[in-house]
Amino acid sequence: MNRIAPREQGGVPEAARNALPPQIHDHALLRWIGGGAYGDVWLGRGVTGAFRAIKVVEQKRFPEVRAYEREFEGVKHFDSISRQHPAFVNILHVGRNDRAGYFYYVMEVADDPVRRKMIDPSCYVAHTLKWELDEYGRLPLDRCLQVALTLTAGLQYLHDHDLVHRDVKPANIIFANQCWKLADIGLVTKIDDTGSVVGTPGFMAPDNQRQPSADLYSLGKLLYQISTGLDPRKYPELPTDFSNDDGRWRSFWDLVCRACEIEPAKQFRSAAHMRQHFARLCPSPPDELPDARPIAPIEPKVLNVAVLYRRNVQPDEYVFGLLQTRLLKNHCRVLGDSPASSDAKWAREVEAMIAQADAVIALLSPASVESEVFAYELEMAHDSARRRQGEPRLLPVRVQSNPSLPSSLASILRPWPAFSWNGPEEDERLLASLVEALKSPVTVTILQRAHRVEATTGPVSMDSQYYIERPDDEEFRRAIARRDSLILIKGPRQMGKTSLLIRGLRQAKANQLQMAFTDLQKFSALDFETPDKFYLAICQSLADHLADQIELKTSLEKTWDSRLSVHSNFEHYLRRQVLSKISTHLIWGIDEVDRLFGCPFGYEVFRLFCTWQAARQLVPLWERLTLVLAYVTEAHLFTSDFAEFPPIGTRLALGDFLPEKLAELNRLHGSPLKTSKDLARFMNLLGGQPFLVRHGLNHLAMHDLSMDEFESQADRDEGIFSDHLRYLLLCLAKNEALLDVVRAVLRGQRPIPLEAFYRLSSAGVIVGESPADTVPRCRLYADYLRRHLGVGLTPSGTASTMSP
């Protein structure tokens, strides 16, 4: 919160600020707004409703009564002339309560920096010169000249009436009625009056405190501070970026140095003399300047801040109210909506609110993160930030918890630093943190990285903008719509099988079908020891996933009949405990099915799966099940028993990205590939393999590499694709016969054996229509494998065997 600064070395304790205000005749004291060593300043309202600043000076704060009376005398002296010059704060009334031990004076109140004369007591801030300095840093030259001309005119009038101010500093200069005004007149005294040395360190003249020259010295230090932004005690130091090339600035600086002179012979003779010199720097100075000219206030930048939260829920409503009232004091207009319904009109209003927002504060609570409305608004803000190069910035606030975020929200908020609030005792800390963030530059770099870069390991999240559909997506949707009995999704590692599978399951759920997902990668080695253990584990996984959809028996062992085979027990459980209890259709996705390859009972499991398709004709209950199996085809490198693979079902063999899909993904990453030639080189290097393409584009976007640099790093052992390439080599190394075939392909020898062709092409190592036209899948694979398998190129460009 910005306040009128108290006198340095004399701040009022918090307990004093919270004490009951004194009684002031015909005025209600609304709130404490500042203070100093000897008194407090209150915002008050008179009987006419006008707002006033009221300073209350207490005798008990002075070391002796004489000092207290001297301050009262200064007020009396200033009161007689305060309304005679526009550069003085107007004293409207002076009162005294000797029984209670204080006197007070009622003054015109400084404008509010945002509302000007339209003062709101709950969030009023006094517009002082210190406030401008804190808000904007060092001020422009013309603004500094306005201050210099106004204050020199006011000081000249004060000195002409045999008075000195003795405390000229930015905190004591207020802005009211379009004019800078000398305020805080507690130290005003007669010229050459006796008394103690008073003032503010950094602004005080080294001697002769009760002479007009001391006020001019303080004004010189004030002008030094507002023109450089530096502490006055650093005079005559200049900012590192201060330019001497600007003639007006150089002349202004010379005058400031003269005002800060200690030797009398080098000082300005008077405030009028000082004003004449500064007036010469004005672009078109009039022949005779008036004593004070109306000054247009600096327009503070008002930020529009939208707050997203869960309405009618506590503490969300409390935090929203806190932000709504308190951020106003820091020139933030808080935007919020209170939709009566989720209709199109409301959606347009939310869109308009976010479109004009400079920042969006999202209150994350257990209630809000489960709200579809909240998610919709946050996604709208995210989309707007992407389009507007980082605005509105997103400021997530965790409210009284650290709620687990849905992946859709987590991906949006991950790049942005989060704030927290755990109770009213943290109000001020939260407000200070948010205000600091709002005043900081927009972190466009973070947003661009969120826009261009996303994790490339694991399945592509449902809300990702980087998921690229292939023909298999539409075929999979049609298979689910037909409710096929068995759907097989196969392909090499990192081709997008799981990403496709979870999208198909999400489609099933959206169509009001039952959905279950089992990941065999999560099964332990013990679960694959015997068919019994495997079927119990897979049934438990199914039961856990369906627990919130249908009621299943909790003890699987009780459903097992020792008189039946394990396969029959599994089938009976599925029919009697699952399919008989659903009224629609079950889409059951099983991922990483390749873990069954090589199991002693793997063939029997696959054969059982296949029998359910034929059983549909005899047992209608099986028509309620669609089984989706996803598996990697690298297993073809380890085993030649192709009879283990399901011989029937709808088969989806995931393919590479075509050039037009690469171009689309390149645009989504911010077009790190600048030209069609770069796109072609990139496609030639990686062959459209989905993981390699996405990982490569991410790397290009993050590191801003040229295509030459990217190609030079691609096949390094510790380079961009090192983990992927090392895994490929390890898989091949398990079968020496296949390694020899790969060497032959690298040397250009054709044709290769039919079985090897099938196994290597299924595993994604080679491509080709037949064993006679086989080539490595992409140049990256070819370059890496040549190096590690001892196959090089001759000077003519043909392959040769390298010496180990």
| DSSP string over 718-745 | TSTTHHHHHHHHHHHHT-HHHHHHHHHH
The SS3 call for residue 399 is: strand
Q: What percent of the chain has pLDDT over 70?
A: 83
Give one word for 101, left, alpha or beta, with left for phi > 0 and alpha for psi -120 to 50: left
Which pLDDT score, from 0 to 100, does residue 217 have?
95
- Cα three-residue angle 668-689-646, rounded to 5 degrees: 125
Residue 290: pLDDT over 60: no
Question: Do 266 and 390 reside in the same domain of the chain?
Answer: no
Question: Do 393 and 328 reside in the same domain of the chain?
Answer: yes
CATH classification at residue 266: 1.10.510.10
Q: Report which of 94, 38, 37, 20 is spatially closest to residue 29, judged by C-alpha positions.
A: 20
Q: How much of the chain is helix, strand and coil, in % rounded to 5?
A: 45, 15, 40
Range with the poorest average pLDDT among 7-11, 109-113, 662-666: 7-11
The SS3 call for residue 313 is: coil
If one counts the domains in the chain, the total is: 5
Residue 684: pLDDT over 90: yes
- The pLDDT tens digits of the residues spanning 160-216 come to 999 999 899 999 999 998 889 999 887 888 887 766 667 888 999 887 667 899 999
Between residues 225 and 432, the one the model is more confident about: 225
For residues 146 and 293, what is the distance between their CA atoms, to the nearest angstrom? 8
Which pLDDT score, from 0 to 100, does residue 389 have?
61
Question: Do 355 and 230 reside in the same domain of the chain?
Answer: no
Number of neighbouring beta carbons within 10 Å of residue 109: 24
Q: At which of 384, 417, 452 does a domain end?
A: 452
* Domain that includes residue 495, residue range: 471-653
Quote the distance between the C-alpha of residue 38 and its chain's center.
Answer: 45
Cα distances (angstroms) measured from residue 174 to each of 108, 183, 187, 218: 10, 6, 16, 16
Residue 253: pLDDT over 70: yes
Which pLDDT score, from 0 to 100, does residue 410 have?
72
The SS3 call for residue 477 is: helix
Residue 240: pLDDT over 50: yes
Which pLDDT score, from 0 to 100, does residue 272 have?
93
Report which listed range, 307-311, 325-329, 634-638, is most confident. 307-311
4 in a structural domain: no
Residue 458: pLDDT over 60: yes
- Average the pLDDT over 352-356 and give the result: 78
CATH classification at residue 546: 3.40.50.300
Question: Which residues have a Cβ under 8 Å from the Cβ of 72 and sit 6 or more positions away?
Answer: 57, 96, 103
- Average the pLDDT over 776-792 and give the result: 89
Question: Do 563 and 640 reside in the same domain of the chain?
Answer: yes
Question: Do 386 and 260 reside in the same domain of the chain?
Answer: no
289 in a structural domain: no
Which pLDDT score, from 0 to 100, does residue 451 have?
42
Q: Report which of 355, 307, 311 is spatially closest to residue 333, judged by C-alpha positions.
A: 307
Which pLDDT score, from 0 to 100, does residue 155 have?
96
CATH classification at residue 63: 3.30.200.20
- The pLDDT tens digits of the residues spanning 500-526 come to 998 888 888 888 888 899 999 888 888
Range with the poorest average pLDDT among 272-276, 304-308, 441-445: 441-445
For residues 104 and 546, what is the distance between their CA atoms, to the nearest angstrom? 75
For residues 109 and 53, what is the distance between their CA atoms, to the nearest angstrom? 5
- Average the pLDDT over 441-465 and give the result: 56
457 in a structural domain: no
- The pLDDT tens digits of the residues spanning 754-777 come to 988 988 888 889 999 899 999 999
Residue 138: pLDDT over 90: no
One DSSP character per residue, 652-669 reads EE--PPPHHHHHHHHHHT
Q: Is the dihedral of CA 538, 544, 550, 553 positive or negative?
A: positive
561 in a structural domain: yes
Return the H-helix or E-strand segment holding 190.
strand 189-190
- Average the pLDDT over 657-677 and give the result: 87
711 in a structural domain: no
Which pLDDT score, from 0 to 100, does residue 244 have?
61
Question: Do 410 and 514 reside in the same domain of the chain?
Answer: no
Q: At which of 95, 125, 155 does a domain end?
A: 125
* Amino acid in position 633: T
704 in a structural domain: no
- Contacts of range 551-560, beta carbons closer than 8 Å, 24 or more positions apart: 551/581, 552/577, 552/578, 552/581, 553/577, 560/536
The SS3 call for residue 568 is: helix
For residues 358 and 371, what is the distance between their CA atoms, to the nearest angstrom? 24
Q: Categorize the per-residue pLDDT at 555 as very low, low, confident or very high, splitting at 50, 70 and 90.
A: low
- Residue 378 and residue 371 in contact, taking contact as beta carbons nearer than 8 Å: no
Q: What is the pTM of this model?
A: 0.45
Which pLDDT score, from 0 to 100, does residue 718 have?
78
- The pLDDT tens digits of the residues spanning 69-108 come to 988 988 998 998 999 999 999 999 999 999 999 999 999 9
For residues 444 and 398, what is the distance between their CA atoms, to the nearest angstrom? 22
Q: Is the dihedral of CA 548, 552, 553, 554 positive or negative?
A: negative
Q: Which two tokens stand for residue 38?
A: 């000897």
Report which listed range, 164-173, 349-358, 503-512, 724-733, is most confident. 164-173
Which pLDDT score, from 0 to 100, does residue 392 have?
80
For residues 581 and 559, what is the distance between their CA atoms, to the nearest angstrom? 15
Question: Do 343 and 422 reside in the same domain of the chain?
Answer: yes
458 in a structural domain: no
> Is residue 466 exposed (0-12), middle (13-18) or buried (19+ Cβ within 10 Å)?
middle
Helix axes 247-259, 271-279, angle to 10 degrees: 170
CATH classification at residue 409: 3.40.50.10140
Task: Give the residue ranges of DSSP H helices in 547-658.
Answer: 566-573, 602-615
Q: At which of 110, 125, 140 does a domain end?
A: 125
Between residues 266 and 391, the one the model is more confident about: 266
Q: Categorize the per-residue pLDDT at 471 as very low, low, confident or very high, splitting at 50, 70 and 90.
A: confident
- Contacts of range 704-707, beta carbons closer than 8 Å, 24 or more positions apart: 704/672, 705/672, 707/673, 707/678, 707/681, 707/682
| Average of per-residue pLDDT values in the chain | 81
Question: Do 208 and 141 reside in the same domain of the chain?
Answer: yes
- Average the pLDDT over 643-671 and give the result: 79
Q: Which two tokens stand for residue 358?
A: 């400079």
Which pLDDT score, from 0 to 100, does residue 298 have?
58
Between residues 134 and 442, the one the model is more confident about: 134
Question: Do 30 and 63 reside in the same domain of the chain?
Answer: yes
Which pLDDT score, from 0 to 100, does residue 41 have?
92
Which pLDDT score, from 0 to 100, does residue 45 have?
92
Phi, psi for residue 39 in degrees, rounded to 5: -165, 170
Residue 17: pLDDT over 70: no
Residue identified by tokens 């930030």 is 385
Residue 804: pLDDT over 60: no
- Residue 711 and residue 696 in contact, taking contact as beta carbons nearer than 8 Å: no
Residue 16: pLDDT over 80: no
Question: Do 406 and 496 reside in the same domain of the chain?
Answer: no
Residue identified by tokens 């003639």 is 247
The SS3 call for residue 236 is: coil
Range with the poorest average pLDDT among 31-40, 137-146, 171-180: 31-40
For residues 613 and 593, what is the distance between their CA atoms, to the nearest angstrom? 18
Question: Do 600 and 475 reside in the same domain of the chain?
Answer: yes
DSSP label of 422: -
Which pLDDT score, from 0 to 100, does residue 321 have?
82
501 in a structural domain: yes
The CA dihedral of 350, 355, 359, 360, to the nearest 10 degrees, is 20
Q: Categorize the per-residue pLDDT at 390 as very low, low, confident or very high, splitting at 50, 70 and 90.
A: low
Half-sphere exposure of 371 (CA within 13 A, CB side): 21
Phi, psi for residue 95 in degrees, rounded to 5: -135, 165
Residue 234: pLDDT over 70: yes
- Contacts of range 57-65, beta carbons closer than 8 Å, 24 or more positions apart: 57/102, 57/103, 57/104, 57/186, 58/101, 58/102, 59/101, 59/102, 60/101, 61/37, 62/38
Half-sphere exposure of 242 (CA within 13 A, CB side): 18
- Average the pLDDT over 462-467 and give the result: 78
The partner residues of 34 in beta bridges, in order of sequence, read 4, 41
Question: Do 225 and 327 reside in the same domain of the chain?
Answer: no
